[in-house]
Amino acid sequence: MFLTILSGLAHSADLAKPNFVIIYIDDLGYADIGPFGATKQKTPNLDRMAREGMKLTSFYAAPVCSVSRAQLLTGCYGARISVPAVFFPGNANGLNPAERTIAEHLKDKGYATACVGKWHLGDQPEFLPTKQGFDRYFGIPYSNDMQRKAVGGTEKVSPLLRDDKVAEFLTDEQQSRIVERYTEEATRFLRDSQDQPFFLYLPHSAVHTPIWPGEAFRGKSSNGRFGDWVEEVDWSVGKILDTLRDLKLDEKTLVIFTSDNGPWLVKGSDGGSALPLRGGKGSTWEGGVRVPTIARWPGKIKAGSVCDSVAGTIDMLPTFVELAGGAVSSKNIAETIIDGRDISKLLLGQSTQSPREAHYYFSGYNLQAVRQGPWKLAIATQPETMGKGVESDAGKNPRLYNLDEEIHEQTNLADKHPEMVAKLLSLAEKMDAEIGGKNPSSRRPAGEVANPKTLYPMADSAPNGNALKSNTATKSVSLADLSIGAATQSDRVPQVGGQPFTVSCKVETDQRDIILIAHGGLSAGYALHLRDGRVVFVVRYGNGDNLAEIVSPTPILGNTKITASLAADHVLTLSVNDKVVAQKKGVAFVPRQPAEDFCLGHDNEKPVAIYSAKEPFKGQIKELKITSP
């Protein structure tokens, strides 16, 4: 009898706990949905969600996806938990299992948990969702543009996982059903879990490039295939909301819709819009990190409300845990510190004050800006967006902006408000000492495995930089035959991963800030570019600040021969017209053959370096060679 009563009380307590759903879109810009100003693509379900809930107009993520996802799930800035940049297939690092995720906290409170969609926090078995608090997982474990050929295969594919096993391989064309399949899996979980509290994390692969809207949505919008895919995402949101209503769980479920970062502007018509914000994905301008966000909880969140208080993905963990009846304190968080705060009073209309003292804008481990109230202080040079350089007004630091008066960050008010500059600088210096730079006092380690492997044997390259054997031959390209603006697959150019190499070419241009050669991305690669006319050779051997750079002491003039090398002892050497002009001891080789395209005169994907280039290359690049022992 007593046990029966206890069991009944426990069941009643479970019934009182709210459910949680996070719908997380990839590369969706601030102005890409109707409630935030989109007109070329229609989003009736998100329009309805905003009418029935709350728009959060100062809600922040991170500049790139892995960092953003780590922040959401742990309540910590990426710099605190050693997630500074994007994880690639076969990386040794991932989200440390010692960190306690939202799923782990809620699982301890009796919640069913599921992750459906893009994970991107490490693809080693130790880092996958089922080892991080989720009962089940279904999805592509990283970005949908990280396709590789499997050994013996003829097409690049993305792995689709069921829990921790590869269930099938998807070609690009087959990605056109990924929103539909994620939605089917997510609604199945909702139905399966309706009799207990649940947490559904639905991080869509859309609308990251390559853009693959489902057949039923192609040509439906007035914004090309990008708009078509946004409309399919809106359809998916409608399916989630309809399922909750059909299960009579509407008033018991807090649904959050948001994005992982701003739009990938250099993708043109395949990218989105952050207007009226400045910048895009990869930057710490508002357009790179402020994302369109809607919260809906009928009967709890006031319909049609708007909140402009500062909040963000790092606040989801403490908010959900508190609403579930738990407590977030130094006693139950790994290594004692999280950065997020409970924003339930904002959501429930009980307060208009952000519970955080400030918001910090990190790019990798580099703290670039801090916001308190309407005031944002930029303390570092900020590129406009991933793949683009720095505008002339972004070179002066510090820069102070009033975001209430000028949301697009144009007018530097630092000279007029020195007291606010001093106040925000003090906050920034404290946080930078804690988790920024090279010698932080409170940074926790990333997860790391000794012998990383990819989820399937890849034909292009192995994580250690050695080429894997393939049953199909890859035809190499003659570098001398490439034209300016060309991009060619990585496996068609000489191997540089894990070994010394030399790049040489002859350059003739009148431009002073331009990309010459780029091969790689955010974790591995190399580049040659001009900065104020000086030659810059960059070798990237890891995420974030893990790169080495040497610069010629004087600008080049006229037809110039450039030779840049990374030696066996990791020394970087730069020669101009066969004369050594700079040398520097590096740290490591490029860890693997870069997965991204080799680009001549531009960088078409995730940038290897921070370029000052503002326009396409004009001139000649001749006699290009890449050699290795």
Active-site residue list: 65, 120
Identify the bridge partners of residue 536 per DSSP, sorted by sequence position.
Answer: 529, 551
User: What gap in Å lies between CA 601 and CA 615, rounded to an integer?
Assistant: 10
Here the tokens at position 367 are 């703290």
User: What gap in Å lies between CA 611 and CA 349, rounded to an integer?
Assistant: 44
Helix/strand/coil for 199: strand
Query: How many residues does the structure list for the chain?
Result: 629
User: What gap in Å lies between CA 522 and CA 604, rounded to an integer?
Assistant: 13
- Helices 178-192 and 224-246: crossing angle, nearest 10°? 10
Question: Residue with structure tokens 């790179």?
Answer: 288
Please check whether residue 239 is in contact with residue 202, taking contact to mean a CB–CB distance below 8 angstroms: no
Residue type at 483? S
Backbone angles phi, psi at 411, to 5 degrees: -100, 115
DSSP per-residue codes, 459-474: SS--TTSPPPP-SS--
Identify the bridge partners of residue 507 per DSSP, sorted by sequence position.
Answer: 560, 621
Q: Give the DSSP H/E element, type plus range, for residue 112.
A: strand 112-116
Helix/strand/coil for 538: strand
Query: Residue 359 gets which letter from DSSP?
Result: E
Please check whether residue 614 is in contact with residue 511, taking contact to mean a CB–CB distance below 8 angstroms: no
User: What gap in Å lies between CA 615 and CA 58, rounded to an integer?
Assistant: 32
- Kindly give the residue spans of alpha helices, DSSP state H, lying in 351-410: none
User: What gap in Å lies between CA 218 and CA 233, rounded to an integer?
Assistant: 13
Please check whether residue 300 is in contact with residue 56, taking contact to mean a CB–CB distance below 8 angstroms: no
Vertex 575, ends 574 and 577: CA angle to 5°?
155
573-579 contacts at long range (C-beta below 8 A, 24 or more positions apart): 574/535, 574/537, 574/550, 576/535, 576/552
Identify the bridge partners of residue 137 per DSSP, sorted by sequence position.
Answer: 115
Helix/strand/coil for 224: helix
User: What gap in Å lies between CA 597 and CA 164, rounded to an integer?
Assistant: 29
Give 196's contacts (C-beta < 8 A, 6+ positions apart): 14, 110, 111, 112
Residue type at 102? I
Residue type at 485? G
User: What gap in Å lies between CA 116 and CA 257, rounded to an integer?
Assistant: 14
Backbone CA torsion sign across 580, 395, 590, 471: negative
Identify the bridge partners of residue 114 per DSSP, sorted by sequence position.
Answer: 136, 200
